[in-house]
């Protein structure tokens, strides 16, 4: 097959709403569809609370943060220092969460619906707490967008989980404190539809019926390089797969695939909360 024909087939695979597997047998082959993460399959896992409660904002109204890389591309993961994360979940008595450009701003420049796209209450990872205002990471484009919100519109919980993903090493590590609970090989995006690096968090849990996601999928706060995919918005996810021959390879449209038994353990045994920090590096 000529280079021009191969590029044409790759472009068609990335842009088609329903994408089929092609060129089976190559480690770079798109071996499985990744169906839309949709509202009909939402099944949330409650966040474990250790503290008492205390249209998306426009991207131009938010500040951005950049992930830092402390290891060379392709290096295996190392255990991170223990950390405690605070998660803000929209209260049941609010309809929207106003977004402010600073901790002392008097005028909101955007808002988030309290009920998110997939039917769950909006979940935000807290970066800083100024009492009446919280600085949060947003589940919107561009990746890394942040804003300040009123603390009275959300309930706060805490947990000690964190997830690392090393794209080049095809590795995912889940910690609770400094204890490694999961260290597993993964599949990542192809050269044409790569897994995007940065700092994200688990935003929604879905129990999909399509085998392309395996048993469970954790939709992340960040997005792939695709503007849309199979009717969805191009959001990245960590999900199981029934195509475990692809684990260890570059086969997805940007999602992180784990062996399905790992996805099941995350949900059914560990019952991971939403709002877990996810750092993806080269």
Question: What was the pLDDT predicted at 43?
Answer: 45
DSSP string over the chain: --HHHHHHHHHHHHH-SS----STTSTTS--S------GGGB---PPPP-S-------GGGSEE------S-TTPPP-PPPP--EEEEEE-TT-SEEEEBSSTT-SS--EEEESB-TTSSBPEEEEEEE-SSEEEEE-SSTTTTEEEEEEGGGEEEEEE-EEEEEETTTTEEEEEETTEEEEEEE-BEE-SSSPPPPEEEEEEEEE--SSGGG-S-EEEEEEE-S-S-BTTB--EEEEE--S-GGGTTSEEESSPEE--HHHHHIIIIIS-PPS--EEEEE-
Q: Who's near 244: CB < 8 A, 6+ residues apart?
A: 259, 260
Tens-place pLDDT, residues 165-182: 999 999 999 999 999 999
Contacts (Cβ under 8 Å, ≥6 apart) of 73:
167, 168, 281, 282
pTM, 2 dp: 0.78
Domains and CATH numbers, the chain: 3-45+160-281 (2.40.440.10), 59-73+84-158 (2.30.30)
- pLDDT tens for residues 29-44? 223 344 444 443 334 4
Instruction: Quote the pLDDT of residue 229.
Output: 60
pLDDT recorded at residue 208: 83
State residue 212's pLDDT score: 79
- Tell me the C-alpha to C-alpha distance, in Å, between residue 67 and each of 11, 57, 162, 281: 29, 21, 15, 8
Give per-residue pLDDT as tens, 71-110: 888 899 999 999 999 999 999 999 999 999 999 999 999 9
């Amino acid at each position: 097959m000529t280079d021009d024909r191969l590029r044409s087939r790759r472009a068609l695979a990335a842009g088609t709403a329903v994408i089929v597997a092609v060129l089976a047998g190559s480690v770079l082959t798109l071996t499985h569809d990744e169906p839309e993460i949709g509202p009909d399959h939402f099944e949330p896992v409650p966040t474990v609370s250790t503290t008492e409660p205390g249209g998306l904002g426009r991207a131009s109204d938010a500040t951005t943060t950049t992930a830092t890389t402390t290891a060379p591309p392709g290096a295996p993961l190392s255990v991170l220092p223990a950390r405690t994360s605070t998660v803000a979940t929209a209260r049941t008595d609010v309809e929207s969460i106003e977004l402010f450009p600073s901790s002392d701003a008097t005028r909101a420049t955007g808002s988030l619906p309290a009920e998110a796209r997939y039917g769950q209450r909006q979940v935000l990872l807290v970066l800083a707490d100024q009492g009446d205002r919280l600085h949060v990471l947003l589940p919107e484009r561009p990746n890394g967008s942040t804003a300040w919100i009123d603390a009275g519109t959300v309930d706060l919980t805490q947990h000690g989980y964190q997830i690392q993903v090393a794209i080049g090493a095809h590795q995912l590590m889940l910690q609770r404190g400094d204890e490694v609970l999961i260290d597993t090989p993964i599949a990542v995006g192809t050269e044409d539809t790569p897994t995007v690096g940065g700092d994200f968090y688990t935003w929604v849990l879905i129990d999909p019926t399509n085998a392309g996601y395996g048993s469970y999928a954790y939709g992340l706060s960040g997005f792939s390089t695709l503007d849309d995919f199979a009717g969805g918005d191009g959001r990245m996810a960590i999900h199981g797969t029934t195509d475990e021959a692809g684990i260890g390879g570059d086969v997805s449209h940007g999602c992180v695939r784990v062996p399905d038994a790992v996805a099941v353990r995350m949900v059914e045994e560990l019952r991971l909360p939403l709002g877990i920090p996810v750092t993806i590096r080269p």
